Structure 1
Amino acid sequence: MAANLDPFQSAHNAGPGRRTILKTLGIGAAGLAGIPLLAACTGGSGPAPGASSNSLTFGSGSSDDVPKAAYKAVTDAFTKKSGITVATNVVPHNDFQNKINSYLQGSPDDAFTWFAGYRMQYYAGKGLLAPVDDVWATIGSNFSDAMKKASTGPDGKMYLVPNYNYPWGFFYRKSFWAEKGYAVPKTFDELKTLATKMKSDGIIPIGFADKDGWPAMGTFDYINMRLNGYQFHVDLTAHKESWDQKKVSDVFDTWKALLPFQDPNALGQTWQDAAKALEAKKTGMYLLGSFVTQQFTDPAVLADIDFFPFPEIAVEGTDAVEAPIDGLLLSKKGGDNKAAHDFLAFMGSAEGQNAYSAVDGSNIATVKGADTSKFTPLNKKCADTIANAKYISQFLDRDALPAMANNVMIPALQSFIKDGTVDVKNLEAQAKTLYAAQ
């Protein structure tokens, strides 16, 4: 195969990709000539697992303490049930994401953590993943149609077994808000009014951290969907809509109203740093995924966390929620190992997902029949937010072409955060070049 460099990787190490493994999905302004693209490869027509095996390797980018422990609970439960041993290779999640292309073209593990959306479809289309239709024949009834669609590759075959997803919204400390008399805003104007009051109280209104590049995408996505609707988000990231149009400029113009209220140190902070600031009541609220609660190890603090969806801007955009899906895939090599197929089937069962969520309660299990008896009020609100949404977006860096999301949008968003300016004509020029090369 040509090209060993990953189209997800940044031109300079401005920081990581997306959150714990993502965690879904840094970067700098790279010249287009420096953005490598994968050569097309041919994948098999379907899995043909070999004879029964008693071991597999599992590559995980879930390197933060909580998800790392949660996946260990899954592999332990699987081994206990099946007798199959799992050798887990944990890699810092940003390294895992940034090097995924060379990983898959080199000596990958049999199974590995990854995401739904374009980030799965891209590698499936390049023949670097093994389809798992046989697994879905067993577990298919455990998932909704939406989850099945999110797990399907461009060739119509199944590639992902979803483990969990998590909504993005504004997280805050209930006791702090009660003490200050703050109320949850329902509209964008109310959000600005609340932020103004917080600032006058000497608080940084909106916690923000974009050292790693990807967190700002959540703000862009929500303002875009609230202004222009879910379908425009999907069409824009697929480049069926242009970046140099008024609808996109309106997103940035609307966002400008929030810039004075976002943490001024955002470009020097990781999402974990901003979580600590929220815990310490230095910031009033924080727009991120529910995985933010992994950082709150004090049970009293965790019980004090609540959240609200991004407020209404235009009526048509209120029916969408950003709730990326994470799960497991098989490398092309792993497709020949029956034990790896068995492991994914276990992950697609209530038993497997219950083992994970018993350790990591920050995410919402995707399988029907998962244990919800231990749901906290926050868990229930997160689950209800996802269940009640008409549309679920993945995230800009999962729904868009990898090189567009990371090599173009991250530096553009970081520049916008710094000085409030963006060149949408340049975004469109780069998009045309990148998407035409696919």
Structure 2
Amino acid sequence: MSRPQSESTPGLIAPPLTTASLTSTFTTSSMSRRSLFKGALGAAALVGLPGFLAACGSGSSSSGAGATGQGATGAVSYGSNQSDAVPKKSIADMVTAYQQQSGGVTVSVNTIDHNSFQENINNYLQGNPDDVYTWFSGYRMRFFADKGLAGDISGVWDGISGMGDALKTASTSTDGKQYFVPATTYPWAVFYRPSVFKAKGYQVPKTMDDFYKLTAQMKTDKLIPLAFADKDGWPAMGTFDQLNLRINGYDFHVSLMAGKENWADQKVKKVFDAWRKLLEVSQPDSLGRTWQESAQSVQKNDAAMLVQGMFMAQQFTKGADQEDLDFFGFPEIDSNIGTDAIEAPIDGNMMAARPKNEAGAKNFLAYLATPAAQQLLVSADPSVIATNTNADTSGYTALQKKAVDFIGAAKNISQFLDRDTRPDFASTVMIPALQTFITTPSDVDGLVNSIQNQAKTIFVS
């Protein structure tokens, strides 16, 4: 799946965060990752489903299907932003399999560039949206559910098995109803080529001191230590999250995203100070580079490492090329904080508030939650793992199996900056702020003061 995290949504005004609204996104304090991934491979598996989108389709509404969509017929339109080749094929395979057993429901997939989809999501949902569309769990789901722009699918959840309470919570809005069906997940980490590390005698770093010693050797060996891209605005958010989790810890990170901390605090300044040093070993001119191009820098052995989501595996060809890709958790910065908090976004599907074929949409959503559907997604796209713990993991690649263990061993998991905070804050404040920092990293005081002044006008009680 391509990682459509840049969720620029001009004009969106989110409701204030509440204790209840925070409990749904895997950013809930002290939520155990193990409880979420009980199942496959002894630890359990979760995975981020490719997000989709597109032009609006039509279909006639079916009667007699009830809250679960049983007995549905007719046409269902499916909005997909999975425009990259690998996730687009995984969607096509899954839809084909569904139609062969649906008993009369046909699905038309409408695909559009993922950044364009997310930048226009508000207008899309208020206009003539597809019956089913891909989106994200947690805050991003709740935001549109609370605005009445998503359909209640609690009845579908009554028939779902293989997904525990944590996943259901991540699919529940502030009214206690479910609006989201998880499909896949994937970790953010530091990715690299094992063959390069072996050939050069590099060791995986455990601490940031080890990391910088390694980057110095990489420079001597004429390698770019760390690939980096932020043309689309969202990739740099992942670097901020990793540093903040390691420097200030999970609880502070969650509170900061909720608008409950001061961005001008010394703790936040420490994050940017650490990042400024990281920029010295990072690929230059990142604002002119896409995430795909940064992944290709590692694939071509021009750069040695990349802080990215596992979806970067889409830029590697199937077989030996993909098999020569591995990752390690972001190194330890403070031994008192450790490394037991990670980032692993959950992707899935939602229903329009007023679908043309509600019964068919619910029937399709019920299928998307099944092991069979998710196995098709992950077999075609080895950059993700399935959220349903009954999915067959025997065909997982080494990278997927490692992702299951990595996520399963984490104590706390965040979703990603632009999923864990208000959409207006993420798009109108953080994207330009981080890009300003990348080009002018010297004025940290001015940067954090600017962020805080804008945050005060957005995070109002």
Q: Report deviation, 1:337.
A: 1.1
CA separation in 1, counterparts of 2:12 and 2:400? 40
Tell me which amino acid in the other structure corresponds to 1:394: Q
CA–CA separation in structure 2 for the residues paired with 1:281 and 1:355: 31
Counterpart for residue 302 of structure 1: 322
Distance 2:297 2:251 in 1: 35
Q: Aligned pair in 2 of structure 1 residues 298, 47: CA closer, same or farther (>3 Å)?
A: closer
**AA aligned opposite 1:373:** S
Q: Any residues of structure 2 matched to 1:7-406 within 5 Å, and which?
A: 20=2, 22-25=3-6, 36-37=11-12, 52-83=72-103, 84-139=105-160, 141-314=161-334, 315-334=336-355, 337-406=358-427
Per the alignment, residue 12 of structure 1 pairs with none
Normalising by the residue count of structure 2, what TM-score does the alignment of the two structures yield?
A: 0.84
Q: Secondary structure at the match of 1:257?
A: helix
Q: Which amino acid aligns with 1:426?
A: S
What is the identity, as a one-letter code, of the residue corresponding to 1:180?
A: K
Q: Is the 8 A contact 2:68 2:156 kept in 1?
A: no
Separation of aligned partners in 2, 1:61 and 1:123: 17
Distance 1:184 1:50, change over 3 A: closer
- The question of whether the paired residues in 2 share the 8 Å contact of 1:167 and 1:382 is answered with yes
**Residue type of the partner of 1:36?**
G
CA RMSD of aligned residues (A): 2.0
The residue number in structure 2 matching 1:11 is: none
SS of 2:280's equivalent in the other structure is helix
Q: Is this contact kept in 1: 2:12–2:122, CA < 8 A? A: no
Distance 1:357 1:39, change over 3 A: closer
Correspondence 1:415-430 to 2 at 5 A: 415-420=436-441, 421-422=443-444, 423-430=447-454
Q: Equivalent residue of 1:354, what SS?
A: helix
Match of 1:85, SS state, is strand
Deviations, residues 32-60 of structure 1 (Å, cap 9, x unaligned): xx9523599xxxxx969798332211000
Check conservation: 2:7, 2:118, Cα contact below 8 A.
no
Contact 2:67 2:156 in 1 (8 A): no
For 1:30, the equivalent position in structure 2 comes to: none
Matched residues, percent identical?
A: 47
Q: How big is each residue's C-alpha offset from its partner over 1:245-300, in whole Å with a ceiling of 9 and x where there is no partner?
A: 01111111111121110001211100110111111111010110000001101522
Report the Cα distance in structure 1 between the residues aligned to 2:272 and 2:338, rounded to whole angstroms. 16
Q: Is the 8 A contact 2:12 2:423 kept in 1?
A: no
Aligned residue identity for 1:433: T
Which letter maps to 1:94? N
Encode CA deviations 1:170-226: one digit per residue, 9 max, x unaligned. Answer: 111111111111100001111111111111211110010111110011110011011
Q: Which amino acid aligns with 1:202?
A: K
The letter for the 2-side match of 1:223 is: L
**Contact 2:229 2:294 survives alignment (8 Å):** yes
Unaligned runs of 5+ in 1: 1-18, 28-33, 41-45
Q: Distance in 1 between matches of 2:67 and 2:257?
A: 31
- 1:187 partner letter: T
The AA in structure 2 aligned to 1:72 is: A
Unaligned stretches of 5+ residues in structure 2: 16-65
Q: Would the aligned equivalents of 2:230 and 2:287 in 1 still touch at CA under 8 Å?
A: yes
Q: Distance in 2 between matches of 1:170 and 1:78?
A: 36
Secondary structure at the aligned position of 1:258 is classed as helix
Amino acid at match of 1:173: R
Q: How many residues align?
A: 406
Q: Partner amino acid for 2:217?
A: K
Q: Which amino acid aligns with 2:123?
A: S
- In the alignment, is the contact (CA less than 8 A) between 2:67 and 2:359 conserved in 1? no
